[in-house]
Structure 1
Amino acid sequence: MNVRAGERIAPLPRGRSARIGGLRVGYEVRAYFRQTDTLFFTFLFPVLMLAIFATAFSSQSFGPADATISAAAYYLPGMLAAGILLSGLQNLGVDIAVERADGTLKRYAGSPMPIGSYFMGKMGQVAVTASLQATVLILVAWAVWHVELPSTAQAWATFAWVFVLGVSCSAVLGIAVSALPRSGKSAQSVIVPIALILQFISGVYIAFDVLPEWMQQIASVFPLRWTAAGMRAVFLPTAFEGAEPGGTWALPLVAIVCSVWLVVGLVVCALTFRWNPKDR
């Protein structure tokens, strides 16, 4: 469909936007799994890192003497949190920046597709891929390294809301940071280091309590540190709670900080998102 400059596109019938958005989710998920580099560095990367840590520290036990666990069990919460960050912030940030640079977004702007349907497709892709990734991580940890999984409904309910809030926050922030790269070629070099640094200072690869206090304070500003804490509250024994800052999982703070960042991300998206980079 060709649209002349200045011509207004008639609004779609009510319900069509949601239907198009649903179709976009399927399209985005298929496109995601067709990209070998994205599949490895985003979807399988946390699984690979879990395998490396579980194997490298297989002879060690973690935690207090009366509640020690294996390396696989210890690193599983962090890898789940990292997967949420990679699926949302890193993947969407790079993906949208490339689409803006190569003119894909500009072509979408000239089509009848509502902007809401576009975002629905992107958010849906993150929800689907992050859910599949978390399932693979948990099943691999359970089947290969015999990690004991939570046995109470309360624990799984906590996992559900931390996961949903973390995915929503990460996806919105991914859309927001997509405005940072000045070109498609620089998208990886701008966004990937941000995701990597956040993982190292947020208790994903290094125990949060052994990090310098100033680094803990910086990490506590960002949502990944709290998503990782929420996952530790679900998958680690209660004896590990004493190692957290303040000696508590601080689940209310997990909800507050991630919710604040979700709102901040939405505001930034509204202020900075443009179909065309020349519109900045």
Structure 2
Amino acid sequence: MLKGRREWIKGFGLSGLMLALGMTLAGAAFAPAQAGEKVMVFAAASLKNALDEINAKWKEETGKETTASYAASSALAKQIEQGAPADIFISADLAWMDYLAEKKLIKDETRSNLLGNRIVLVSGKTDAAPVEIKPGLDLAALLGDGRLAMGAVDSVPAGKYGKSALEKLGIWPTVEAKVAGAESVRAALLLVSRGEAPYGIVYQTDAAADPGVKVVGTLPEDSHPSIIYPIAITAESNPDAAAYLEFVKSPKAAALFQAQGFIVRE
């Protein structure tokens, strides 16, 4: 059955978690975006707080609206591949943007590296002691009978960064069996905030957005690939996407990203 852009949005709503569940859209066809429609933004889950503020500012200054879906970059990229009507894609790593580029699903000339971030170890206990994250750390002992909450290490960027760091530090073999993989970094954060996992590895911006967790350590930046959030306009996009992209890269947006703890790259 063919579905138009508005019907797709109505059916899926704003829930990035629904996207993360991998709802199958293969074989569906979608009508091209039209000027005057909302700009549809697919963005990594860790961007939610900052991008919600930026989208509100965009509406205030232009009178135009956006619809944002937040989930793991992997889930969003797969949805775009399957025909979801995204206008803008912001990934939490280069790999999933490269994935869409190889399939000619983004406009290469609009691609740039927008933001950076850091990954941290968090605890759900406000009195948790600081942890020096270095080779030889007995993270398994800290976890005890509990689990280490992370984004899924084979697909979610935060999970991949975290695994890379733990491998380089020689810690991974001791905790691999204790990892609780989540469908997004925000889902991993929630496991710690709710007390379902004693520790978790998330972005520092996620930790700052949740008062229910405490940062107890920062993973060394040289222990994992640089954390880069690329942005691009999709191949089939709303004409307003170009103006939105420029706004997201503007000094006004940069200030809002920095307020949330992101590193502005351009």
Common fold by TM > 0.5: no
Which structure has greater helix proportion?
1
- TM-score computed with the length of structure 2 as normaliser: 0.30
- TM-score computed with the length of structure 1 as normaliser: 0.29
